[in-house]
Structure 1
Amino acid sequence: MIGIRKLFEFQEDCSSYIVNYCNSVNKKTLIVKAPTGSGKTIILLDFIDKYIKQKNRKICFIWLTPGSGELEEQSKKKLDKHLPQYTSKTVDDILNGDFDDKDVCFINWERVTKKGNRAIKEAERKNIYERIADAHRNNIDFILIIDEEHQNNTSKARDIIDAFAPIYTIRVSATAHKNKAFDMYEIDEVDVIASGLITKALYINEGVSDAQIQDENGLLLNLAIAKRKAIKEGYEKLGKNINPLVIVQFPNENPGLIKSIEEKLTTMDITYDNGRLAIWMSGNEYHKNIDNITDINNSVQFLLIKQAISTGWDCPRAKVLVKLRENMSEQFEIQTLGRLRRMPEAKHYDNELLDNAYLYTFDEKYRESVMQNIDRAYFVRRIFLKPEFYDFNLVKELRNLDYNSSGEREKRDRLAKFYKEKYKLTNDVTINKVKLMAGGYNLSDRIEKTIMQGKVVRTIDMVREDATRYGVSFAVNTHEHAIDLRQSIDSFKYLIGLSYEKTRVILELLFRDNRRFKNKFLKLNTSEFYAFILNNVHKIREDFREGMIGSYTEQRMFVEAKEEIFKFPHEEIFKYIEQKDSKVLKKNVYRDYTDDCLVEEIKSKSERLFERFCESCEEVSWYYKNGDAGQQYFSITYLDGNQEQHLFYADYIVGLKSGDVWIIETKGGEGKNGTNKNIDIQVRNKFDAFKQYAKKHNAKWGFVRDKNEKLYVNNTEYIDNMSSDAWKLLKF
């Protein structure tokens, strides 16, 4: 029992489980998965109280929180309120004193990991590491509570955790994932619902009909306004002074989209000036009317936010979420849904309208993103370079910014030729429509989407395969959909190396009736052109990529790549799926690089075979797995058929006992009946670029592919058929 009330049964069970866990032998780390709104802070406070009362040792609790300090302050205030008999401390208190028995120390990650912060700087007072050492000398043990445990995983964070040397670590999060290395306790979301702490269910797109829609954002906002008004009236009938809040979530801080929503809300008398509208995004100019916004009767009715709500933000009056889309694969935040489902008075009202939350969205990506949040296939941790490899270096290539690729006309003609040959297009627009539709293009004059509608109880229900989905279509509004059009073209313009404006001109020359061009495949009017791009963005991207392959050797000419020295990064994010009896791969250049990364969900078959080959090969002294993208990794430039520069990142660098160094690129191999499993359409361009790099720098190299569980290498001429003599059994 603690200060506010008797715990719910699921909270009591969780608290008692943690206490018993911390009394066990040979157990160190427990992951607690607690749905947002389940009262995890109260559960942890109850655990602390129980453990201190039955302990037989000096103990100090370290409560680590993410963010810029809000969650730290929030948790500390709750302890001071409910457990005033214990001393709560911050980093400043520790620096001015010590870690003492029965202390609960709330530490924000940024205070101890941010560069130059006085908490870890050698200064007049002892730094936090020395305070930790003093506590150990005084026989004080530490128990670590890591709140939102997934959010901080850096070398400095690891150093802090190692310094505390905790006897137990409790990691808590709403989005925790199972990890075979640790024990896990999961609170069932249904138990939280039954307690009344969160809504009974979440309604998705309630009231959205399958009729043709003229204005999607306007429709979503109108539905949200009507729902908010009904909820407000429902509270008033019960005599409750609760002002329900609608959250409008943007995928990013796009000024144009923000302005368009502000204008729509203004026509509905929801403005910043009258206190009914607030905005909370980065930058002071995007902070308006957010003071006391979490108060139950605050005047703000609509809050505009970016993709993620600040960690620790608690606003139980939020009842409706409008999630906007921009034809991009933005991440859908489980935490946002969790905060939407809190009940304002921590109880149900036996009223269907008030006991549920509401989501309105035409975003087709949220199911995929929810699945990634709920059931991500892998886990991550930091690994660190062995000191003996600090000085290793190679020459890497970067794009030469002074080099000019082929012009707009050449790219236009190349794409026209590609479309004509792939789809067998003619000068007859009517025939071309049939052929493009047969090839997978959608030629509707309306924007078509598939949405989900229904009621879900658990968050996981949002990813059910049998959930109700149906198609909706929107009439094109060139003003409203101009942002969508730009976002769509921006998503594939890089494939031809042109600006938005020039890429749009090429598309109009090929498919729109407003420009004269000899290869005019369609003659779409303005609305039809908008619909064509928005309905076919993935198909166009696929064709642009395929159309730009070309021949590297034909187009290479004389391009001098920019060169820099590459060194192994001192730390890396390591993806893995915990396996029984996992082992350290000793030849890798990183410490704690284990074989539980060698699984299908993380690495290709050729990569898995290659790393095992390196571990078993007598001639191999060490190997490095390169990253897929980023300036810190080893890269080589290549040109596509349009003379556009690109970078590719060879998979492995291998050191032999002889002193030789090999650079290896792995590709999909050959399956049954000679099936080619390589999916890289630029493979020949990369092969030829690799060959030129090796010649220039006298490097040993090869492309490696698998066949019948064996690895073969090629560094002469790229041929898909692995029966060719160009592919040799891999030996070093």
Structure 2
Amino acid sequence: MIVVQIPNKSETLQEGVERYLETQGITCENGQLAVWLSDRHENLEGIEESDATSSVVIIKQAVATGWDCPRAHILVKLRDNMDETFEIQTIGRIRRMPEAKHYDDDLLDSCYLCTFDEKFTAGVKLALDKNALNACTLFLKNEYKTVTLVSEQRSMVTDHRNPQKALQAIVNYVEKEYGLSTNKAENRTKLQAYGFVFKEDIIRYTVSGETATLDFSASEMNTIGVTEKLNTHKHGRDYHQKIGRIGLEIGMEYSFMNTIIRKLFDKKFNYSRKILALEPREVYSFVLNNADRLKHLVREAMAYEMAQLKMDMPMVSKSDFYIPQSCIFTYNGESKTQIVYEKNVYQGYLSSAAPRSMPEVKFEKFCERAESVEWWYKNGDKGNEYLSIVYQDNSEKQKLFYPDYIICAKGEIWIIETKGGFDRSGTSHDIDKFTPKKFEVLKKYLNEHGLKGGIVRNDDSTDELCICMENYSDDIQSDDWKILSDFVK
């Protein structure tokens, strides 16, 4: 729903708005238009319902405090000089999601403000910080409307996970990373060395001390552990919640995740590669005291390359990909530099495009300056309209990988994924644990379609963009990393 806010004593403007909406087929008579004014109330009953008929509401004064309409999505503000508190409240009304979830569609997952009021815009940006960006519609240049690639989509069964493969992946991971084996006593000692807690009691952590600020991290507060006796009845709910959250990390439902945990740690469950042999009561304590460590372990195991098992990739659906005819372009209007990137496929693409990671900023500058680059396109990161490639985690969960860029250099198409760089000491700043898997499926895709590309990262020690095309390595000094400008000049 669109919320149109007009000034007081502006009957002429109100009539103009209603006349314009009528040309779009939106009127009070057909129920598409609602009016909420001090002297006029029309089509307001049930307006907050998701299936309500009205798509536009005209208001003047602040909407009642208790009013709640999550489907409000766009604010057209034709007022100015309003109270700051109400400004933020109004923005809050259009930031809610109608079904309390996102839809993997940028148009639906963002809210929009249309206004000439600079003071209001400044207030919103101050309140939302980096979450508030300028936006406009950009249109594809004619010469790129025929560019065609093949996009992959997940099969119809998108929620499939294989608990047995997940279990094997976890064991493979802990054997390689923690050096565990079938020796339960040694495993316990090694896990303790990695910070795992082995206590019969439950340990709760809190902070103690005095502070004059709510920012505990900036004050001299002490973290202390409070111990309480395990009661399986009392702590059973906590156990179920923790197991559920661990499973949520990989999309595994509670019953499967609980079975995995029991096979790994509970002596009552048979499993040839069991890590520990705890009493059932001890499993409660172990999970509750190490929930965050277990969550991290499970998440890492699903992406761990050495834990990769032989899997059958189900059939994926394929379709032609065309660069979208238009896009909602977001940028930082406060940036001092507003250069139009002429090589971008869209008319009016600015150097202040946001949000962008530092590797993306560097790569876009590189594309614009490289003589051999004829054009380039920034791919979206979710949605069927963008180029995607299917890959799997170690539980055979299908995921979609959206490469960052498509470029054309000397008549050849390159597909590029940018990642966090390497600092001056060579330490990796890539936080994506699935990068090796994405590299493999990208390489396979490029070979299948006769294209070029790879993973691009920045080397801070030389301030050079480097590309990995054949074998993925997390060592910038390895021969697998080449200077990008040597291939795309």
Instruction: State the secondary structure of the residue aligned to 1:152.
Output: helix
> How is 1:619-634 mapped onto 2 (pairs within 5 angstroms)?
619-634=372-387
Shift in alpha-carbon separation, 1:568–1:489, aligned structure 2, 3 A? farther
The answer for the alignment partner of 1:646 in structure 2 is 399
1:441 pairs with 2:196 = yes
**C-alpha separation between the residues in 2 aligned to 1:461 and 1:685?**
42
Distance 1:683 1:159 in 2: 33
SS at structure 1 position matched to 2:399: strand
Contact 2:125 2:133 in 1 (8 A): no
| SS state at 2:436 partner | helix
2:54 is matched with: none
The residue type equivalent to 2:351 in the other structure is D
Contact 2:412–2:451 (CA under 8 A) maintained in structure 1? no
Residue of 704, 713, 729 corresponding to 2:467: 713
CA distance 1:437–1:582, shift in 2 (3 Å): farther
Q: Distance in 2 between matches of 1:719 and 1:639?
A: 20
Mapped to 1, the partners of 2:43 and 2:156 lie a distance apart of 49
**Mapped pair 1:615 → 2:371:** no
Give 1:481 shift. 4.6
| Aligned counterpart for 1:488 among listed residues 242, 245, 257 | 242
Aligned to 1:380: 133
Which structure's relative contact order is higher, taking Cα pairs within 8 Å and 6+ residues apart? 2
Report SS of the residue matched to 1:170: helix
Contact 2:169/2:308 (CA < 8 Å) preserved in 1?
A: no
Between the two proteins, the alignment pairs up a number of residues equal to 424
1:399 aligns to what? 154
1:185-204 superposed Cα distances (whole Å, 9 cap, x missing partner): xxxxxxxxxxxxxxxxxxxx
Q: Tell me if structure 2 keeps the 8 A contact 1:449–1:473.
A: yes
What does residue 148 of structure 1 align with?
Answer: 90
Whole-Å Cα distance in 2 between the matches of residues 104 and 432 of structure 1?
68
Report the AA paired with residue 310 of structure 2. Q
Unaligned runs of 5+ in 1: 1-47, 53-57, 63-71, 81-87, 94-102, 116-128, 133-140, 179-373
Residue in 2 that maps onto 1:432: 187
**Matches of 1:678 and 1:721, distance apart in 2:** 12
Aligned residue type for 2:90: E
Aligned to 1:282: none
Aligned ranges 1:552-701 → 2 under 5 Å: 555=310, 559-568=314-323, 570-572=326-328, 574=330, 576=332, 578-589=334-345, 593-597=349-353, 603-640=356-393, 643-655=396-408, 660-701=412-453
Which residue number in structure 1 is paired with residue 120 of structure 2? 170
**In 2 relative to 1, CA 692–556 (structure 1 residues): closer, same or farther, beyond 3 Å?**
farther
Q: Distance in 2 between matches of 1:710 and 1:429?
A: 48
Q: Distance in 2 between matches of 1:726 and 1:712?
A: 10
Q: Look up the equivalent residue of 2:377 and give its one-letter code.
A: Y
CA gap of 1:594–1:448, structure 2 versus 1, over 3 A, is farther
Distance 1:621 1:379, change over 3 A: farther
Matched residue of 2:315: which SS? coil
Q: Any idea what SS the aligned residue of 1:624 has?
A: strand
Distance 2:166 2:360 in 1: 35
Residue 19 (structure 2) aligns with: none
SS, match of residue 273 in structure 2: coil
CA distance in 2, matches of 1:413, 1:725: 32
Q: Which residue of 2 aligns with 1:522?
A: 276
Instruction: Specify which of 205, 222, 225 is matched with residue 450 of structure 1.
Output: 205
- Note if contact 2:200-2:282 (Cα within 8 Å) is conserved in structure 1: yes
Distance 2:222 2:384 in 1: 42
Residues 380 and 575 of structure 1 are in contact (CA less than 8 Å); yes or no, is this contact kept in structure 2? yes
Q: How far off is 1:609 after superposition?
A: 1.1
CA–CA separation in structure 2 for the residues paired with 1:609 and 1:647: 25
Q: Distance in 1 between matches of 2:404 and 2:227?
A: 44
Change in Cα spacing, 1:511 to 1:680, as seen in structure 2 (3 Å) is same
Question: What SS does the aligned partner of 1:595 have?
Answer: coil
**1:114-129 equivalences in 2 (<5 Å):** none
Q: Within 5 Å, which residues of 2 pair with 1:233-632?
A: 377-388=130-141, 393-401=148-156, 408-425=163-180, 429-451=184-206, 461-462=214-215, 465-466=218-219, 468=221, 470-471=223-224, 472-473=226-227, 475-479=229-233, 481-493=235-247, 498-548=252-302, 549-550=304-305, 555=310, 559-568=314-323, 570-572=326-328, 574=330, 576=332, 578-589=334-345, 593-597=349-353, 603-632=356-385
The CA deviation at 1:634 is: 2.5
Tell whether the 8 Å contact from 2:72 to 2:93 is kept in structure 1 after alignment: no
Letter in 1 for 2:483: L
Write the letter of the residue equivalent to 2:471: E
The 8 Å contact of residues 404 and 416 in structure 2, kept in 1 or not, is answered as yes
Q: Hey, what's the Cα distance between the residues in 2 that align with 1:417 and 1:713?
A: 30
Change (3 A) 1:539 1:668: same
Alignment CA distance shift 1:664-1:420 (3 Å): closer
User: For residues 573 and 675 of structure 1, what CA distance do their matches in structure 2 show?
Assistant: 33
SS at match of 1:488: helix
AA in 1 matched with 2:286: F
Q: After TM superposition, list the pairs within 5 Å mapping 1:69-80 onto structure 2.
A: none
Q: Return the alpha-carbon distance in structure 2 between the equivalents of residues 426 and 433 of structure 1.
A: 10
Taking only aligned residues, the RMSD between alpha carbons, in angstroms, comes to 5.0
Once residues 610 and 468 of structure 1 are traced to their aligned partners in structure 2, the CA distance between those partners, rounded to angstroms, is 43
Per the alignment, residue 3 of structure 2 pairs with: none
SS of match in other structure, 1:432: helix
Distance (Å, rounded) in 2 between the aligned partners of 1:510 and 1:481: 21
Alpha-carbon deviation of 1:613? 0.9
CA distance in 1, matches of 2:322, 2:62: 38
Query: 1:511, 1:524 within 8 Å by CA — same for their partners in 2?
Result: yes
Structure 1 pair 725–438 and aligned structure 2 pair: CA distance change class (3 A): closer
Q: What is the rounded CA distance, in whole Å, between the counterparts of 2:273 and 2:248 in structure 1?
A: 23
Task: Give the TM-score taking structure 2 as reference length.
Answer: 0.67
Aligned residue type for 2:137: F
Q: Percent identity?
A: 26
Q: Does structure 1 retain, via aligned residues, the 8 Å contact 2:391–2:437?
A: yes
* Superposition deviation, residue 559 in structure 1: 4.3
Q: Quick one: structure 1 residues 526 and 558, their matched pair in 2 at CA, closer, same or farther if it must change by over 3 Å?
A: closer
Deviation at 1:540, TM superposition (A): 1.7
Q: Are 2:170 and 2:307, in contact at CA under 8 Å, matched by a contact in 1?
A: no
Deviations 1:315-351 (A, max 9, x none): xxxxxxxxxxxxxxxxxxxxxxxxxxxxxxxxxxxxx
Provide the residue aligned with 1:161 in structure 2: 114
Query: Shift of residue 610 of structure 1?
Result: 0.2
